[in-house]
Amino acid sequence: GQNIDQPTEMTATEGAIVQINCTYQTSGFNGLFWYQQHAGEAPTFLSYNVLDGLEEKGRFSSFLSRSKGYSYLLLKELQMKDSASYLCAVRDGNDYKLSFGAGTTVTVRA
């Protein structure tokens, strides 16, 4: 299986930037996903990386380094509605199954 680690909690102020790191160990890496999950709701897709580098999508960016088993999600211009749990998920092999990290709870303060 995969060993996916990410910080438990992070706090930032409105308008600031926060970077959520994720490290993983897998034998057959086939993509890394970031999802946002509000309490009691289903996860919603944020980003997908399969090649090294930075993927930018509006206020959110995601970076991947396959050689280091490392990714980060960058949230810019934080808004109160960004307070949520952010899940790092790794796909191993070709069966489309995802293994999730425990999630990072981000709290945005005014």
Partner 1 sequence: GAVVSQHPSRVICKSGTSVKIECRSLDFQATTMFWYRQFPKQSLMLMATSNEGSKATYEQGVEKDKFLINHASLTLSTLTVTSAHPEDSSFYICSARLSGTNEKLFFGSGTQLSVL
String of contacts with partner 1 for each residue 46-85, x by CB under 8 A: --x-------------------------------------
Residue with smaller CB distance to partner 1, 34 or 63: 34
Are residues 101 and 88 in contact, defined by beta-carbon separation less than 8 angstroms? yes
Q: How far is CA 69 from CA 1, 44, 63, 85, 90, in A?
A: 14, 23, 11, 21, 10
Residue with smaller CB distance to partner 1, 53 or 110: 53
Give 77's DSSP letter: S
Are residues 33 and 91 in contact, defined by beta-carbon separation less than 8 angstroms? yes
Are residues 63 and 45 in contact, defined by beta-carbon separation less than 8 angstroms? no
Stretch that binds partner 1, among 16-24, 28-36, 51-59, 68-76 (CB under 8 A): 28-36
Stretch that binds partner 1, among 11-19, 37-45, 61-69, 74-82 (CB under 8 A): 37-45
Q: How far apart are alpha carbons 94 and 16 in whole angstroms?
A: 38
The reply on whether position 97 binds partner 1 by CB under 8 A is: yes
Stretch that binds partner 1, among 18-26, 36-44, 51-59, 60-68 (CB under 8 A): 36-44
Sign, CA torsion 67/9/12/58: positive
* Interface positions with partner 1 (CB under 8 A): 4, 31, 33, 35, 40-45, 48, 87, 95-103, 105
